[in-house]
Amino acid sequence: PKMSMFVLDDNHLACHERTAGQHYRNLQDGSPLVVAVANLAEKKGYRFRGTVTLHTDDDIYDAQVKVAEEKGTKKPAAIPVLEITEIQDLSSGATAGKTIDKD
């Protein structure tokens, strides 16, 4: 689970990249990002796909460094921002895996 995930706006999800490990290197190399969220009790969920912009030295990054400081968490190496281009239904049943919206 990516505990630092947050909604940036109606079309973007973002998180704190703290480890600067393989996942970060993959994003630097242009790998797409896929984020899945689920409510297991209700057997509902969504998968978000899209392109990523890494923020390391701008207003988005600076604001999230302040959030990390306030929460007492590690300073992020970057803030990956996912521009959502596709949403898929992960709910249990006939719609599982079906695309809900795609640009």
What is the SS3 string spanning 23-56? HHHHHHCCCCEEEEEEECCCCEEEEEEEEEEEEC
Residue type, 2: K
Q: Where are the domains of the chain?
A: 6-102
Question: What's the token pair of residue 38?
Answer: 């689920």
pLDDT computed for residue 95 by the predictor: 87
Residue 63 CB neighbours (<10 A):
11
| C-beta of residue 75 within 8 angstroms of C-beta of residue 62 | no
Residue 82: how many other CB atoms lie within 10 Å: 23
Q: Do 90 and 43 meet the contact criterion of CB atoms below 8 Å apart? A: no
Please give the CATH superfamily to which domain 6-102 belongs.
Electron Transport, Fmn-binding Protein; Chain A (2.30.110.10)
Phi, psi for residue 19 in degrees, rounded to 5? -85, -25
Query: Per-block average pLDDT, block size 10, for the chain (103 residues)?
Result: 90 95 93 92 95 96 98 96 96 90 90
